[in-house]
Chains A and B, each alone.
Chain A
Amino acid sequence: MKFESLTAFFYMDGHGIYIWAAYGLTLVILAANVWFPLIARRNIIRAEKSAVLKAMNRKL
């Protein structure tokens, strides 16, 4: 551990604001890159399933 206290860890000798902003932004962008395909997948499955069901109902 390079930091003696939690305050020192957040403050990082005055560079904390830059470091935490950069890490925060990275977290947001990486998480969005997982989140969007997951949502898209759910929507695709839902849409295609309902399309299949509709087609089946028409046949009946």
Chain B
Amino acid sequence: MLNWFHRLGSPKTFFEISGRWQVPLLSLAVLMLAGGAAWALLFVPPDYQQGNSVRIMYIHVPAAILAQSGYVMMAGAAAVFLIWRIKLADVAVKCVAPLGASITFLALVTGAIWGKPTWGTWWVWDARLTSTLVLFFLYIGVIALRSAMDRQAGVGRACAILALVGVVNLPVIKYSVDWWYSLHQPASFSLTEKPSMPIEMWLPLLVMVIAYYLFFFSVWMMRIRNEILVREKNTDWVKQWLAVR
């Protein structure tokens, strides 16, 4: 396990393995996204109260899930970097921040668009919405800190610590709807609890959640590969790889 961990921690090994995976992974993600969206738009029955606007759930809920679980992954990579000083973990933290920020932004905006026809408002300062906005600013903070400390010693460590401190926001987002009165409804999608909707509405949601995860991983991988090329440009293996491009 530890051996495997160290092997994958080498930029060269990661670059080789991810090179084989990136095209099939991204293709599968795009295929599932397109299929899931077509399913959600054409075949899912309307909701008894919301009507057709329930179709927005299929892009909003996976984005909201990924916004949070992307942060967990960023914090995990940050912890690995701080403890083992594996450089690839720092690359991972750097590359996931803009991706996470864009997905959080997507969750916020699709939520606002969904809120207008269902709640009657684009936005309220309730606990769930506000803590998700804080999540967005945490991602932005990690990006901003990195660009402010560009190429200074300790930039990786500073970003990693900021990412870890932000973890406290995650339970706040998750339990905000249980701890306080809010406008936002409790979770619609969970793998551990009985679905709160019939199977013909739940299954396409599952497809979309998996598709978003696959998409997230493949795009993250593409960014990491670019960053490796930049950081390792003076090594022989990168020069050899470039020679055949």
Query: Is there an interface contact between B106 and A25, defined as CB atoms closer than 8 Å?
Result: yes
Most buried by A among B59, B116, B225: B59
- Chain B: interface secondary structure? helix
Q: Is B164 on the interface with A (CB-CB < 8 A)?
A: no
Report the bound CA distance from A40 to B225 in whole Å.
Answer: 10
What is the number of residues of chain B that contact chain A, defined by CB distance less than 8 Å? Answer: 41
For B55, what are the chain A residues with a Cβ–Cβ distance below 8 Å?
12, 19
Q: Which of A9-49 contact B (CB under 8 A)?
A: 9, 12-13, 15-16, 18-19, 21-23, 25-26, 29-30, 32-34, 37-38, 40-41, 44-45, 48-49
Q: Is B21 on the interface with A (CB-CB < 8 A)?
A: no
B58 vs chain A, min Cβ distance (A): 9
Given known A-B contacts A2-B44, A37-B223, A23 and B59 have beta carbons under 8 A apart? yes
For B239, what are the chain A residues with a Cβ–Cβ distance below 8 Å?
52
CB-CB nearest in chain B for A27: B37
For A32, what are the chain B residues with a Cβ–Cβ distance below 8 Å?
102
Query: Is there an interface contact between B106 and A26, defined as CB atoms closer than 8 Å?
Result: yes
Report the bound CA distance from A3 to B42 in whole Å.
Answer: 7
For A19, what are the chain B residues with a Cβ–Cβ distance below 8 Å?
41, 52-53, 55-56
Q: Is A1 on the interface with B (CB-CB < 8 A)?
A: yes
For B103, what are the chain A residues with a Cβ–Cβ distance below 8 Å?
29
Most buried by A among B105, B114, B222: B222
Query: Is there an interface contact between A22 and B114, defined as CB atoms closer than 8 Å?
Result: yes
Q: Which of B48-85 contact A (CB under 8 A)?
A: 51-53, 55-56, 59-60, 63
B21 vs chain A, min Cβ distance (A): 15
Stretch of B8-16, B134-142, B143-151, B226-234 on the interface side: B226-234
Q: Which of B78-118 contact A (CB under 8 A)?
A: 99, 102-103, 105-106, 109-110, 113-114, 116-117
14 contacts between A and B (CB under 8 A): A1-B42, A13-B51, A13-B52, A15-B52, A15-B117, A16-B52, A19-B56, A26-B106, A33-B102, A33-B219, A34-B222, A38-B222, A45-B229, A48-B242
Residues of B within 8 A of A (CB): 26, 33, 37, 41-46, 51-53, 55-56, 59-60, 63, 99, 102-103, 105-106, 109-110, 113-114, 116-117, 215, 219, 222-223, 225-226, 229-230, 233, 238-239, 242, 245
